[in-house]
Amino acid sequence: MQILFVEDDIALAEAVTESLQNKDFVVNHVAKGSLAISSIKVDLPDIVILDLGLPDMDGTEVLKIIRKHSAEIPILILTARTSIEDKVLGLDLGADDYLAKPFEVDELLARLRVFERRASTSKHADLTIDNVTIDVVSHQVTIDDAEIDLSRREFMVLKALMENAGRVQTRDKLESKLYSWGEEVASNTIEVHIHHLRKKLPQNFIQTLRGIGYIIKSP
């Protein structure tokens, strides 16, 4: 995985580069927006991590230009600006995710892994927690190597929970992942899917937080 890291603070850039290299990412670091743009034009990376406060131009401008150049490339905004307006603006302009400084390295790695899985359509795309494994591409689910049958929506719920293991998924969040805008959703739809999933999965694999949502504990 090749990452283009756009960040003007050299100390932070070096530290993050080391962390990512430890996890076998290939990191190209640039400190200016203009360099990021010329770098994109020469060689398209797999992922872009973009700081919004750059010395030569605003990060949102860089974001727009990168998006114009490639519609698919995943872009993660990493910035000290934390207001909701900034987040919405970044996501509206085509960023895929938003991480506010100061951040946990594990959090950054988790987000990058989501990008990685999304990108690796041809390579193997397995996700394993305890004895449950899902294949994101073929939609296969196995428990201790025994395959089980899930409906498309049940699979999507399980995938959302496993991709975000250790983080609570609220009912609203799951609904928005499963259903498009305007689609009619019965109030207990997610409960029904979870109920069916529980019957097929090991006991206590999915945990309920009453009134809030569901979680699969990270391994």
Residues found near another protein in the complex (CB under 8 A): 9, 11-12, 15-16, 18-19, 22, 53, 80-84, 100-106, 166-173, 209-213, 215, 217
> What is the nearest approach in angstroms of another protein to the Cβ of residue 218?
9
Q: Which is nearer to another protein, 11 or 146 (CB)?
A: 11
Q: Which is nearer to another protein, 42 or 186 (CB)?
A: 186
> What is the nearest approach in angstroms of another protein to the Cβ of residue 42?
27
What region, left, alpha or beta, does residue 112 occupy, with left being phi > 0 and alpha being psi -120 to 50 degrees? alpha
Residue 202: DSSP 8-state: P
Q: Which is nearer to another protein, 96 or 175 (CB)?
A: 175
Q: Which is nearer to another protein, 82 or 188 (CB)?
A: 82
Extract the tokens encoding 76: 């993660």
> What is the nearest approach in angstroms of another protein to the Cβ of residue 27?
13
- Say if residues 112 and 76 touch (Cβ distance below 8 Å): yes
Integer Cα distance of 79 and 85 in angstroms: 13
b or e along 34-45 (b: 16 or more beta carbons within 10 Å of the residue's beta carbon)? ebbbebbeeeeb
- Say if residues 216 and 165 touch (Cβ distance below 8 Å): yes
Integer Cα distance of 131 and 36 in angstroms: 42
Backbone angles phi, psi at 55, to 5 degrees: -70, -35
> What is the nearest approach in angstroms of another protein to the Cβ of residue 101?
4
> What is the nearest approach in angstroms of another protein to the Cβ of residue 70?
27
Q: Which is nearer to another protein, 8 or 96 (CB)?
A: 8
Q: Which is nearer to another protein, 78 or 150 (CB)?
A: 78
> What is the nearest approach in angstroms of another protein to the Cβ of residue 200?
24
Integer Cα distance of 29 and 5 in angstroms: 5
